[in-house]
Chain A
Amino acid sequence: MERIKKIRNFCIVAHIDHGKSTLADRLIEKTGTLAKRDMQEQLLDSMDLEREKGITIKLTPTRMLYTYQGEEYELNLIDTPGHVDFTYEVSRSLAACEGAILIVDASQGVEAQTLANAYLAIDNNLEILPVINKIDLPSARPEEVKKEIEDVVGVPAMDAPCISAKDGTNIDQVLEMIVKQFPSPKGDENGKLKCLIFDSFYDNFRGAICLIRVFDGKVKVGDRIKMMHTGKVFDVTEVGIFVPFSKTVDILQAGDVGYLAGSIKNISDIEVGDTITNVDNPIETPLPGYKKVQPVVFCGIFPVDGAKYNELKDGLEKLKLNDASLEYQPEVSQALGYGFRCGFLGLLHLEIITERLEREFNLDIITTAPSVYYHVFKTNGEMLELSNPSSLPNPVEIDYIEEPVVKASIYAPPQYVGAIMELCQEKRGIYKDLTYLDSNRVRVNYVLPLGEIIYDFFDSLKSRTKGYASLDYEMAGFERSDLVRVDILLNGEKCDALSIIVHKDKAYTRGRALTEKLKKIIPRQLFEVPIQAAIGSKIIARETVSAMRKDVLAKCYGGDITRKRKLLEKQKEGKKRMRKIGSVEIPSEAFMSILKLDDDDNK
């Protein structure tokens, strides 16, 4: 049989917790790719953080060998992240496959992300193989779930394997179906080189590494290659595959999934979705679907201890090596001193980066409230692009402001349409249209300000639709909006790191909520501390933290001085996480509290 006919490139998609990573582990184990003793639970999620959160962030492709009817097949599994922040990365990974396994939990049935992910796969023309998982649970109802998949997703599911990834039941059946049902890649190994970059990472010794899918032609060490969008040219120094650890091979050819290294020093030279071709024998048009990834959410990151600025800088530099989508530049705040303004793909991305800074680099950091990017048109005709509320010019100098908006598509069962529209209205959305996909599914389209989405849109949507709605969105340019900056004054002094930009209609409620929240967070001080919210010089809300009255250890008992000293030393440690703004001490979590406002309101 022809080489390419024995390749299957596929991914696994699922609603969260339906068992994606567990199935991946079983496949690797069953094909003998790794001996059982080498298996670490959920092998593909390689970062601690991912394992802890149970979500996959970084993609790790794995080649497995599987013998079916006397023929050895090469199965390439490309794992995908399942969060809206990374939709583009997922879509590129899907573009590298011919098939997708759609896992559905046998008791929970079809859920929001089942559908969103299935559609994403269908959009990429993938063959879908439904798999019913967790049949070991007493509440499993595989037959009903199969019918649900057919009715709701619209994919035949009567022959879907019923498995328990946990127990290893019927894994063979899945492997067989992969071979039988998924098409082999099409492509001409003798044609001109055409590869898709679907991910990248940085290796200290080999430089930046591209994870690629070869569509046409072949690539080997010594070839001169060109990134078609960035225009960069490199000499290939290594090609290889993952089993699941990296292993060099002589050549990668049409249909293969693997990696390529070329002494690429800067990860920014590799863009996910870019097409690689051969310099000497190039193709004319790159693969479709490429987008330049741009950060959409921004925040300030500062070290709690000002002296740790350089360590923070090192940390960001190291993370950037592996993550081209992370952006940062130095920033100075009156309140927080020297730090960085950082850009992210979304809130989850932001959360991951800040957690990694704290964990992997052992840094205590302060994060300011996330913000989007604004276009500020000044009366003198100038246009400023800014994401930092404190850079906003004086109101009299501003002609108008534009904020980024997104085209949002929300999928949900019809009974939630009312709730969804109410939410979108609250979030300043503009209704576009509503489509019944079938009797169980509608799609509601809205144009929404990105600034509203990054607060708590996703969580509110989930809670108002019992988790059934799924959200997808894409950037849709900038629109003029009536925005103002709300400042926070502590003891009469403006704290720049607490300023936010909000729509005028929401300024009062936000200002009030913010002062109330800060009152809860800021501990009592020597003197009474007024907390005020202001637009310009106009105070719109006020709370007061009354003066501290009692902080004393009453009894020095029987000469036990040691205990008392230790208590004070401990208390002193706690004070280290405080920041002094003027004469007011505030705990570092106060700066993120702005983000959590809406969560509290909903409770």
Chain B
Amino acid sequence: MLGVYIHIPFCERKCLYCAFSSFVNKKDEGESYLSHLLKEINNFENKNNEEVDSIYIGGGTPSLLELEELDRIFKKLHEKFKISFDCEISIECNPNSLTKEKLLGYKSLGINRLSIGVQSLNDEDLKFIARLHNRAMAIDAVKKAKECGFENINCDLLIGLKNANTEDFLNQLKTLLDLGVTHISAYMLQVEDGTPLQNLVKQNADLLPSDDECVEIYKKATKYLQKYGINKYEISNFALKGYECKHNLKYWSGENYIGFGLSAHSYIDGIRFANSNNFKDYYAQKLALKEKLTTKQLIEEHIMLGLRCCLGVDLDYLKSLNYNLEKNENLIYFLEKNIIYRENNRIFLNQDYYGINNYVIIKLMP
């Protein structure tokens, strides 16, 4: 089964922390981009004629697209791929660009999962990171989505913004869960190179909460969500049972996925490739990356991805790649200290140690 990712690299405005591939020039570039995107989908060779069971439209801000534009994309997808009847079809959207009309349109296009970029319900923080919505608009967007019949709704939240302490953050979670949200992505804010946020942090090292405070909020949030039956299934992702994001799980389990659009990444039969992140090169079909994974890289990725999520690491699979992790003294130590636990031939990271995920992964890499 194949996953399809489609990148819409346009935003109304760049957020303070954003280092993703997105631009504010949809008016000028939009039409030309769309035509190249459709061309790229059209040219794709689906060698194994794989059926598609997840489609994810991400960005940028895909909800900036007009319904008519989305319609062209879906027509092309249906023309090109066999799409399974239970295919998960997600779209990322911002609270301020969601209207009832759009939501109903999404329904009719077959979209069955919304990922809403709430980021925070704290108005101070929303202003600080330069979002275009406020708390009321975010709540309103979730309500509208429910009214239009969406069952599978994710909200993105950021941990580690300026004003939200633990209590405030847990209250935000409660508000969203009471509205019927089924999935939460809670990301610890990362200060990326070249972002305006990085400059601010350089000027004032105490601008953001400390790492310890962030981890504290993260741990409390994990516990809090559990009470609502919303379980962590990846470092930053929490869902009601059955509402885990199928598309994201593909990234972590090593299944095939194809990405269309600017800077989109793909992984097909052991080869990773990525489109360029500038329009000119993308239009010229220049790849930014193409690598066939070596055995060592396959091992590293399996450990890295498996320990980040509920899938765990398959020791037998690693053995088949000639890596006997069972003999690794660090693993023995982690098992002894209950940092990692084992079920049959799989090992999993203990939830309490998700905050030091990197450290553990590095210790187990060949």
State the A residues within 8 Å of B (CB). Answer: 526, 548-562, 564-565, 568-569, 571-572, 575
B235-266 interface code vs A (CB 8 A; 1 in, 0 out): 11000000000001001100001010001111
Contact A552 B188 (CB under 8 A): yes
Residues of chain B with a CB closer than 8 A to A564's CB: 304
Residues of chain B with a CB closer than 8 A to A575's CB: 362
Contact B267 A561 (CB under 8 A): yes
Residues of chain B with a CB closer than 8 A to A569's CB: 300, 365
Residues of chain A with a CB closer than 8 A to B339's CB: 526
The interface-forming segment of B40-48, B119-127, B134-142, B353-361 is B353-361
Contact B215 A568 (CB under 8 A): no
Residues 269 to 292 of chain B near chain A (Cβ within 8 Å): 272, 274, 289, 291
Contact A568 B300 (CB under 8 A): yes
Contact A559 B266 (CB under 8 A): yes
State the B residues within 8 Å of A (CB). Answer: 5, 7, 20, 58, 187-190, 211-212, 214-216, 234-236, 248, 251-252, 257, 259, 263-267, 272, 274, 289, 291, 297, 300-301, 304-305, 308, 337, 339, 354-359, 361-362, 365
Whether A560 contacts B357 in the complex (CB less than 8 A), given A549-B211, A550-B212, comes out as no
Chain A, Cβ-Cβ closest to B359 = A551
Q: In whole Å, how far is B145's beta carbon from the nearest beta carbon of chain A?
A: 22
Contact B358 A551 (CB under 8 A): yes
Contact B235 A552 (CB under 8 A): yes
Contact of A551 among B297, B304, B357 (CB under 8 A): B357
- CB-based closest 8 A-B pairs: A550-B211, A559-B265, A549-B215, A551-B358, A551-B359, A552-B357, A554-B187, A554-B188
Contact A568 B308 (CB under 8 A): no
Contact B289 A550 (CB under 8 A): no
Chain A, Cβ-Cβ closest to B237 = A556
Contact A562 B187 (CB under 8 A): no
CA distance A552 to B160 in the complex (A): 14
Q: List 22 A-B contacts (CB under 8 A).
A: A526-B356, A549-B211, A550-B214, A551-B357, A554-B187, A554-B188, A555-B187, A556-B248, A556-B305, A556-B308, A558-B265, A559-B259, A559-B265, A560-B274, A561-B251, A561-B305, A562-B272, A562-B274, A568-B300, A568-B304, A568-B365, A569-B300
Contact A572 B266 (CB under 8 A): no
Whether A560 contacts B265 in the complex (CB less than 8 A), given A549-B212, A550-B212, comes out as yes
Contact A555 B305 (CB under 8 A): no
Chain B, Cβ-Cβ closest to A555 = B187
Whether A561 contacts B308 in the complex (CB less than 8 A), given A551-B358, A554-B188, A572-B362, comes out as no
19 further A-B contacts with Cβ under 8 Å, apart from A568-B358, A568-B362, are A526-B337, A550-B188, A550-B212, A552-B188, A552-B354, A553-B190, A554-B188, A554-B236, A555-B187, A555-B236, A556-B251, A558-B264, A559-B259, A559-B265, A560-B265, A561-B251, A561-B265, A561-B305, A569-B365
CA distance A564 to B289 in the complex (A): 14
CA distance A583 to B2 in the complex (A): 45
Chain B, Cβ-Cβ closest to A571 = B362
Chain B, Cβ-Cβ closest to A550 = B211
Contact of A557 among B20, B257, B354 (CB under 8 A): B20
Chain A, Cβ-Cβ closest to B211 = A550
CA distance A551 to B353 in the complex (A): 10
Q: In whole Å, how far is B14's beta carbon from the nearest beta carbon of chain A?
A: 16
CA distance A553 to B359 in the complex (A): 10
Contact B235 A548 (CB under 8 A): no
Chain B, Cβ-Cβ closest to A557 = B20
Most buried by B among A526, A555, A557, A558: A558
Contact A559 B251 (CB under 8 A): yes
Residues of chain B with a CB closer than 8 A to A550's CB: 188, 211-212, 214-215, 355-356
CA distance A315 to B26 in the complex (A): 62
Residues of chain A with a CB closer than 8 A to B308's CB: 556
Contact A559 B190 (CB under 8 A): no
Contact A552 B251 (CB under 8 A): no
Contact B5 A552 (CB under 8 A): no
Contact A562 B265 (CB under 8 A): yes
Q: In whole Å, how far is A548's beta carbon from the nearest beta carbon of chain B?
A: 6
Residues of chain B with a CB closer than 8 A to A553's CB: 190, 357-358
CA distance A561 to B289 in the complex (A): 12
Q: In whole Å, how far is B247's beta carbon from the nearest beta carbon of chain A?
A: 9
Residues of chain B with a CB closer than 8 A to A556's CB: 234, 248, 251-252, 305, 308
Residues of chain B with a CB closer than 8 A to A565's CB: 297, 300-301, 304
CA distance A558 to B272 in the complex (A): 13
Q: In whole Å, how far is A528's beta carbon from the nearest beta carbon of chain B?
A: 13
Residues of chain A with a CB closer than 8 A to B259's CB: 558-559
Residues of chain B with a CB closer than 8 A to A555's CB: 187, 190, 236
Q: In whole Å, how far is A276's beta carbon from the nearest beta carbon of chain B?
A: 59
Residues of chain A with a CB closer than 8 A to B305's CB: 556, 561
CA distance A565 to B361 in the complex (A): 10
Residues of chain B with a CB closer than 8 A to A568's CB: 300, 304, 358, 361-362, 365
Chain A, Cβ-Cβ closest to B254 = A561
Chain A, Cβ-Cβ closest to B19 = A557
Residues of chain A with a CB closer than 8 A to B291's CB: 562
Chain B, Cβ-Cβ closest to A552 = B357
CA distance A548 to B337 in the complex (A): 15
